Chain A
């Protein structure tokens, strides 16, 4: 309709050019993973581990082991911490190739990027999404990728209805026992080479419901995962950053549980 076309033109460009230099990522104020400062931590204190709903924080002898792959970003630990060792942050770009890189207790894991898909994807990427039992937060943010602000298409990245046209299987949710078979079937239907990305803490490790009477613990032991992106949910920019990392067009920012470390 002509009037809508004019309306669209009059509105001008709404799309950010992020991750281009100087452009807005749209995540002002968004809280990400808690930061841990071992120096400030008091020995014997277990306040943060006690409040964490997913067991992301474990206390070992004198130090904490923090697994960002289990963190649902609830911020309870940052409120419970009496010494300021655990503080809120805006660190959300947590896409990694190696699950170990989400563990803060393993500094220096720092594995090199595996032989990846770079040669296969010079131009465009086609993704099949499967909801294997989410709270719909991840879907809400995946849907946002196609709104005019992020406009994922500009990066040559597309969602496709058929697994047969897909290069990447993007899985959200805890993987309920009932979704196990349909998920496997979607993976089997994909042509090789194929890759899998676990998006959201549920898909990475199970989140809140993982391991109960109807749920598995995310993709652990279900499918071989190439890229892990925890978050609850990961925001659209975090998903974009992980996809670009997968395409070798952006660096992995988290190593040994530390962002840009």
Chain B
């Protein structure tokens, strides 16, 4: 596949390969299945090898039964379960062989479209038979304006013994929505997988298509794509700070964080016509050139000045810090094994960032600082994001300074039966798109690996054995989306 070094493997090769990858300090990124021309599903595993820019892809064609890699590489557990649900592949030896995304519940009282009687996976809870253990299911409709998901707590008094998030209430079949679309329409769909990650999704998608087509966006388009990607990081991280203050009940801090986010979103709209920076990226470059002008640099500088004052005040607010320090501890090993990504893993000592390790767009030409902290608590997760806000302001100014005139789009027509891999480091972490074009030149299969799918898998490890009062703070400190995870 273009974008990854591909190797054909037989099922018997998988476990030795997985062990070798682990021993080399490598990490699986994601896995997916697809059925070329309706044939038996082909399973693909994408991994990152330390100090190697190119990803590695293992291809195992035509098997309905494969050995599970989850016992050796736990982070692949949810990918295997998703393939069991959606592609009917069985992974032998999986420690949790239960439905995750879809579950046939054998009733047809809901008259949907297409397949009926499907629901999302049911929680499997530990069998705790003690009278003082309370059982609290919460959701899928939660208090406040929030995305739908259901959480089950088993707790005694304030102490949480076990926690289970039930997701995929919002599984919209977005990957399927791409099938039959042309390359250009695909970008519009990618922007609607997770709105607060519109640019990262469109960017990973566009680069995947460009690799399939063997074309490259012109320098000006690459620069403007990075500008949009950093603007996306900015408004997301500002929102994050405001929301985190909401959970620590720092009211003015909440208001100020959300006001800065609003200012950033209004800048987005002035620049692109969309508060979510949509409608600009397309395979081959940009749908239209953008003219940032001096006003944008000035507006960003004034936003930065406001931010610096705000951040300094947060760092002095003991009531806020007290709630974050030591809350929701994610040890480095758990973060690595369970596949935590983005600011979450960087706050647990893992020094990884796709922008630097597997440069895309034009990031290899920019001075990028990657902030890594060891503590692994909610406070570390906040500080990593704060450092990324400062870094994004610098990157934006740099991009504006270096922006050269030139074309913003090249012809990009993927040939029939081609495929490509694209990736981006979104505000929440690593995002991958694998695209396959069919014989008719239209999209035949699109796999989306979203950062929240990874971080939701790691999150419960920080909740078991913690306390109720910290739950909302801990959840906010992860900065998860549900739409991105559920797709």
Q: Binary interface profile of B, 158-178, with partner A (CB < 8 Å = 1, else 0)?
A: 000000000011111110110
Given A4-B313, A131-B147, A135-B483, also A31-B273 (CB < 8 A): yes
Stretch at the interface among A40-48, A96-104, A205-213: A205-213
| Contact of A142 with B145 in the complex, beta carbons under 8 Å | yes
| Contact of A76 with B184 in the complex, beta carbons under 8 Å | yes
Interface of B is mostly: loop
Q: Which residue of A lies closest to B115 (CB)?
A: A213
Inter-chain contacts of A233 with B (CB < 8 A)? 195, 276
Given A147-B255, A214-B112, also A232-B269 (CB < 8 A): no
Stretch at the interface among A60-68, A115-123, A178-186, A248-256: A178-186
Q: Which residue of A lies closest to B236 (CB)?
A: A140
Residues of A in contact with B, size category: 35 or more
| Contact of A144 with B262 in the complex, beta carbons under 8 Å | yes
Q: Binary interface profile of B, 1-39, with partner A (CB < 8 Å = 1, else 0)?
A: 000000000000000000000000000000000000000
Contact of A134 among B258, B272, B278, B483 (CB under 8 A): B483
| Contact of B110 with A177 in the complex, beta carbons under 8 Å | yes
Inter-chain contacts of B120 with A (CB < 8 A)? 178
| Contact of B171 with A178 in the complex, beta carbons under 8 Å | yes
Given A131-B148, A148-B259, A161-B144, also A213-B176 (CB < 8 A): yes
| Contact of B143 with A161 in the complex, beta carbons under 8 Å | yes
Per the bound structure, the CA–CA distance linking A79 and B196 in Å amounts to 24
Stretch at the interface among B89-97, B185-193, B434-442: B185-193
| Contact of B258 with A148 in the complex, beta carbons under 8 Å | yes
Inter-chain contacts of A130 with B (CB < 8 A)? 141, 148
Question: Is B302 at the interface (CB under 8 A from chain A)?
Answer: no
Question: Is B341 at the interface (CB under 8 A from chain A)?
Answer: no
| Contact of A1 with B147 in the complex, beta carbons under 8 Å | no
Q: Binary interface profile of B, 235-270, with partner A (CB < 8 Å = 1, else 0)?
A: 000010010000000111101101101100110011
Interface residues of A in 171-206 (CB under 8 A from B): 173-174, 176-183, 186
| Contact of B270 with A136 in the complex, beta carbons under 8 Å | no
Contact of A147 among B174, B177, B250, B261 (CB under 8 A): B261
**Shortest beta-carbon distance, A159 to chain B, in Å?**
6
| Contact of A214 with B195 in the complex, beta carbons under 8 Å | no
Question: Is B140 at the interface (CB under 8 A from chain A)?
Answer: yes
| Contact of B193 with A135 in the complex, beta carbons under 8 Å | yes
Inter-chain contacts of A131 with B (CB < 8 A)? 141, 146-148, 170, 482
Q: Binary interface profile of B, 360-398, with partner A (CB < 8 Å = 1, else 0)?
A: 000000000000000000000000000000000000000
Contact of A214 among B147, B173, B184, B258 (CB under 8 A): B173
Contact of B252 among A4, A159, A178 (CB under 8 A): A4
Interface residues of A in 87-134 (CB under 8 A from B): 88, 129-134
Q: Binary interface profile of B, 110-122, with partner A (CB < 8 Å = 1, else 0)?
A: 1011111011100
- Residue of B195, B261, B272, B316 with highest tally of chain A CB at under 10 A: B195
Inter-chain contacts of A146 with B (CB < 8 A)? 258
Contact of A212 among B145, B173, B270 (CB under 8 A): B173
| Contact of A176 with B196 in the complex, beta carbons under 8 Å | no
Contact of B255 among A139, A148, A174 (CB under 8 A): A148
Interface residues of A in 31-83 (CB under 8 A from B): 31, 51, 53, 72-76, 79
Inter-chain contacts of A29 with B (CB < 8 A)? 269-273
Q: Which residue of A lies closest to B242 (CB)?
A: A147
Q: Which residue of B lies closest to A74 (CB)?
A: B188
| Contact of B140 with A182 in the complex, beta carbons under 8 Å | yes
Given A135-B192, A135-B194, A137-B196, also A31-B279 (CB < 8 A): yes
- Other than the given A31-B273, A134-B170, 19 more pairs (CB < 8 A) read A11-B256, A79-B287, A131-B148, A135-B195, A143-B145, A147-B258, A174-B172, A177-B116, A177-B118, A179-B170, A182-B148, A208-B189, A212-B113, A213-B113, A213-B114, A213-B173, A215-B113, A233-B276, A235-B275
Identify the B interface with A (CB < 8 A).
Answer: 102, 110, 112-116, 118-120, 140-141, 143-148, 168-174, 176-177, 181, 184-185, 188-189, 192-196, 198, 239, 242, 250-253, 255-256, 258-259, 261-262, 265-266, 269-276, 278-279, 287-288, 313, 316-317, 319, 481-484
Identify the A interface with B (CB < 8 A).
Answer: 1, 3-5, 7-8, 11, 14, 26-31, 51, 53, 72-76, 79, 88, 129-144, 146-150, 159, 161, 173-174, 176-183, 186, 207-209, 211-217, 232-233, 235
The 7 closest A-B pairs by CB, nearest first: A137-B195, A161-B143, A31-B273, A213-B114, A147-B258, A4-B252, A209-B172
Show 8 residue pairs from A and B whose CB-CB distance is below 8 angstroms, ordered by the A residue.
Answer: A4-B251, A29-B273, A51-B185, A146-B258, A178-B170, A208-B177, A212-B176, A214-B115
